[in-house]
Amino acid sequence: MNFSVSTLHLDGVAQLYEHRLWLAFLFLLLYVFVMLSDSLVVYIVCSQRRLHQPMYVFVVAVLVNSAVGSTSIYPKLLWDLVQGCRVVQVSRLACLCQAFLTGSLGSSSFMLLSAMAFDRYLSICRPMRYAALMSPYTVTALLLVCWMLPACRVAGAMFLSSRLPICYTQVTRIYCDTYTFISMSCGGASTRISNMYGLMSATITIFLPVTFVLFSYGRILVICLKRSRTFSTKALNTCLPHILVFMNFSLTASTELLHRRLESHSVTVTTSILVVVIPTVFNPVVYGLKVAEIYKHVKRLLRCPRTAKTEPFST
């Protein structure tokens, strides 16, 4: 057992070695696309006074998470591929920082999606009280909770993980996360305590928000079935982008949890790549193309002559 290990080895890049230059070019294109598309949607929401509404504020928050999370992974991965290292050495502190960012931003995104569901629920099911309930103060408080609670939770997990004795320094990953440290440790009871803490905190910041999202959209569906077809169509159109992003996050998170039980190294590396790429690329595309008001301004900004036909659900 070793408490003073300062360097860790991520050998996931070894699985990509033969095609590293092509993959580096692909990841560069993906990173540029993510940053440009996220920035475009954020700029449109911030520059258009009409979009200064709770729903679009939460959209911006999710895309900011996506941009920051991408920056914590893509540049380092690009550098490792270009260098041609089969095994990447990374300091324990740098690994902890990357694990903190990926863990807190991932959990925060789930909580932001639950805040979106709450916003849509009030807008559709409680329209008369919407303005009072979703005041700027409420939106600010929700944003702080969605960012601070996961950050505190992951910081606690990082503190426990950093104190575990290290028996292994080699992990089949392309980036660091909390599970990286737990899988390298051999601390017996301390490892079990760390796992229990991780499960409890994940329940608070992931599983409870997911349950709330399902409940909120279930209630919206019940209301829509009782109302006119026009009302239901407009209501469901405003919920569709959030539902798509929620499903995307849920599938990638489930895949991440499942792959940890698999023995195949190639599956582990492939899955870790997909967990990074799919959400970061998918989210700006969905919000840029499926949210009618944002799509209209995207086309206007890009000087597309065709105008949007679908109007958003009025809040």
Structural element, H or E, at residue 10: strand 7-10
pLDDT given for residue 147 in this prediction: 93
Q: Could you report the per-residue pLDDT of 12-39, keeping only the tens digit for each?
A: 777 777 888 888 899 999 999 999 999 9
Q: In terms of C-beta density within 10 A (0-12 exposed, 13-18 middle, 19 or more buried), how is residue 258 classed?
A: exposed
Q: How far apart are alpha carbons 2 and 183 in whole angstroms?
A: 14
pLDDT above 60: residue 42? yes
The whole-number pLDDT of residue 148 equals 93
Residue with structure tokens 């104190």?
163
Residues of the chain with pLDDT > 90, as a percent, come to 20
Looking at residue 1, what is its pLDDT? 44
User: Model confidence over 176-213: pLDDT tens digits?
Assistant: 877 776 767 776 655 666 667 666 766 776 778 888 88
DSSP 8-state code for residue 174: S
In whole angstroms, what is the distance from residue 312 CA to residue 210 CA? 25
Asked whether the predicted pLDDT for residue 4 surpasses 60, the reply is: no
Going by C-alpha positions, the residue among 249, 223, 251 that lies closest to residue 236 is: 223
Length of the chain: 315
In this structure, are residues 106 and 253 in contact, taking their beta carbons and an 8 Å threshold? yes
Residue 244 burial by Cβ neighbours in a 10 Å radius (0-12, 13-18, 19+): middle
At 257-276, the pLDDT tens digits run 666 655 545 556 777 788 88
Instruction: Fold for 15-301, please state it.
Output: Rhopdopsin 7-helix transmembrane proteins (1.20.1070)
Q: Which two tokens stand for residue 288?
A: 């840029």
CA dihedral 173, 95, 66, 59 (to 10 degrees): 130
Contact call for residues 16 and 269 (beta carbons, < 8 A): yes
Edge-first strand listing for the sheet containing 7-10: 88-91, 7-10, 170-171
Q: Which of 206, 213, 56, 232 is nearest to 121 (CA)?
A: 213
What's the chain's average pLDDT? 80
Give CA 232 to chain center in angstroms. Answer: 29
Tokens describing residue 136? 């700027």
Query: Is beta strand 88-91 parallel, antiparallel or unpaired with respect to 170-171?
Result: unpaired
Q: Are 69 and 111 in contact (CB under 8 A)?
A: no
Q: What's the pLDDT at 38? A: 92
Is pLDDT of 310 > 50?
Answer: no
Show the tokens assigned to 31: 């990173």
Mean pLDDT of 41-47: 91
In DSSP terms, 88 is beta-bridged to 10
